[in-house]
Structures are given as structure tokens and as C-alpha cells.
Amino acid sequence: MPEASAVNKMFAGIAGRYDLANHLLSGGLDFYWRRKLAREVSRCRPKVVVDLATGSGDVVFSIAKTLKNPAAITGLDFCPPMLEKAVEKKRHLEKTKKWASRLEQVNFIQGDCLNLPFSDGQVDVLTIAFGLRNLEDRARGLREMRRVLRKPGGVLLVLEFSQPATLLRPFYFFYLRYLLPVIARLATGQPEAYHYLGETIGKFPPRETLTAEIRAAGFDKVDSVGLSCSIVALHQAEVL
């Protein structure tokens, strides 16, 4: 598991060009993945939503845009420079009539996924996109997520890199090892951060293993679906 201090420092270093790098490195697929996640949140008709490891806030804004019912949406991250980017985006969006009403109940806070600043059962839907991989203690983090979700009916949605379809793997891991750092250097000037990304993706468990870990944290019903040839998986876990 990665050390929290090292992860914090790494993300602080790339915060300025984080969004650009995400779009380039995913070939724009990150927009589709977030929309898929946001639609699943909307189906739950929540009143309280929390997005963990929110980064620059794109998942929060996608959820706010997609929800049909009013909801309090909180984005939490432990890296101040990333949160500054999220707050900056919110201020910019609030200037447009289209977004103003949707952002009234959106806020961003600093916090630790291993010690969430929410009471037991306070949250209806909890999301985490591409952040579970970075937790120093994944099992503890999943138990903490289970604690803050309401019972019954709380839902956890995890969007995370996975192990791709067998035929794609040689090409995919070649990309992670050799091409991704080059593109990242051009986009951010921080190729070492994306060496880390490639390494953590390669070592991250497949969908079946992560499903078992989520169940072990106390969730009653866990399903997953592979996206984009299973490069990414969306896990949905419910509290019954």
C-alpha cells in the first residue's frame, strides 16, 4: 500500500495540470467513466452524497449536473492544492445561470478517507473514483466507508482501474510502462508521478478480488461491471 504522505506530495505537485493529464492519458474516456458513475448515483435518488478522493472535483460536478433531485454533495480530499482547484472550478461555474442552482449544496472539505468526518449512517451514496488504489490501508478505508453509509439502503460506488481483457493486456501494460510517462512529462512535467500510476494500476487486484474485499468490509450486496474492455471497473455495493 502507498504511504499517505508520499501520495499527498505527489498530487500536490501535479494539481495544476491534473485535469489536462487525465484527459490526454485516457484519450477522453474519463468523461464517459464519470458520466456512467453519475448516472448510477442519480438512480439512487440520494439526499446526501459524498465523493472521496475528489481531487479537482470533476466527479462532484458530474453528479451535480446529473441528479434530478436536490441533494447535498460533498467532495473530500486530503490534498489542499487539489481542493483549491475544485473550489476554483466551483466559483467559475457559479457565474453561469445554468450551474448556479445546482451548486448551492455543493461543498469541498479536507479530510482523510481512513478517518471520515461523518457520523455513522449519515451518507446515502458514497463515491470514490480512482482513489481507492491510493489508500494507505484499503481494508480500513472500506470499513470506514461502510460505517458512514445509512442502513438500510446506503450505496458505495467505486470507479477504479482494473485488469483489462486478456487480449488487450500486452498492449495496455506496454502503454502504462513506456508511453504514459512520456505523455505525462509533456503534459505535467512530472513523469515520476505517472510511473507511480502505472505501477499501482498493474498491481491493483482484478474485479473479483476487489469485490471480495468490499464484501469483507461489511457490504451485503456487491456487483461490478467492466468498462472500456475492463480497463476500468465500476463496483456497486449496497447496505441491506
pLDDT tens for 107-135 read 999 999 999 999 999 999 999 999 999 89
Q: In what order do the strands lie in the sheet with 232-238?
A: 106-110, 72-77, 48-52, 125-129, 155-161, 232-238, 221-227
Chain segment 77-94, per-residue pLDDT in tens: 999 999 999 999 999 999
* Whether 201 contacts 176, CB under 8 Å: yes
Identify whether 186 is part of a domain: no
Asked if the model's pLDDT at residue 24 lies above 90, the reply is no
pLDDT at site 177:
80
Instruction: Encode pLDDT of 137-191 as tens digits.
Output: 999 999 999 999 999 999 999 999 888 888 888 888 888 787 877 777 776 676 6
User: What's the whole-number mean pLDDT along residues 40-59?
Assistant: 97
Q: Does any domain span residue 136?
A: yes
Domain assignment present for 182 = no
9 or 230, greater pLDDT = 230
Number of domains in the chain: 1
Residue 188 lies in a domain: no
Domain region containing 65: 4-160+206-238
**What CATH number is associated with residue 101?**
3.40.50.150
Is residue 116 assigned to a domain? yes
pLDDT of residue 90: 95
Does a structural domain hold residue 200? no
Residue 177 lies in a domain: no
